[in-house]
Structure 1
Amino acid sequence: MPWFTVETTYTADRELLAATRPRHREYLGRLVEQGSVGAAGPWADDSAGFAIYQVEDRAELDRLLEEDPYTTEGVAASRTIHEWKLVFGSVGSA
């Protein structure tokens, strides 16, 4: 299964980010348990977050991102997505 990296830049609305973050983290936690997310977290300056997904294909990734509370609530201002070829090491439980 392919790996994807996803950087999500947040909206400038810090109150919306703070209000939505718990549901976003619950959602990602379920994806970690299912093996779809290997690692995730915000940048140290909290301007954006980064996650590594392992899914069947880009269509599945897009579906998962569409269901993310950061998408449904308008927290994700933009996303940068790359298919990633993992060569060394391991990521989470995926």
Structure 2
Amino acid sequence: MPWFVKIERGIVDKTTFDRYVSAHQEYVRNLIAKGHQAKTGYWGDFGGGMLLFQADSLEDAKTIVAQDPLIFNHCVEYELHEWCIVVMD
């Protein structure tokens, strides 16, 4: 399965954003359980974050991202890209 990356930038205040963090974490756990090998985190030096995951196609990746509570609740703007790995273990 190809890898995809969602790079995001917060667009709401922290209080609003924090309301959806638990739902986002559960969403990522669900992706992991479904075999998407998801990883999520935020930038330590500026606002925003990233979600790295596997999907069958770009269309599948778009559908997956649309279900993220941070997207669904308009907390972030994002870019979605296929990530082409050139070196692996």
- Give the TM-score range, shorter chain: 0.7 to 0.9
> Separation in 1 of the partners of 2:59 and 2:75?
21
C-alpha displacement at 1:65, in angstroms?
1.1
Q: TM-score, normalised by structure 2?
A: 0.87
Runs of 4+ deviating beyond 4 Å? none
CA contact (8 A) 2:43 2:49 kept: yes
Deviations 1:4-26 (A, max 9, x none): 11111111311111111010111
> Separation in 1 of the partners of 2:33 and 2:46?
24
> Separation in 2 of the partners of 1:14 and 1:24?
15
> Separation in 2 of the partners of 1:62 and 1:15?
27
Gaps of 5+ in 2: none
Give % identity: 24
Q: CA 1:38–1:23 in 2, change beyond 3 Å: closer, same or farther?
A: closer
RMSD: 1.6
Secondary structure of the residue that 2:56 maps to in structure 1? Answer: coil
Deviations 1:12-61 (A, max 9, x none): 31111111101011101110122214321111146111111110101111
Q: TM-score, normalised by structure 1?
A: 0.82
> Separation in 1 of the partners of 2:21 and 2:49?
11
Q: How many residues align?
A: 89
Deviations 1:43-86 (A, max 9, x none): 1146111111110101111111111111111111x112221111
The residue identity in structure 2 corresponding to 1:69 is: P
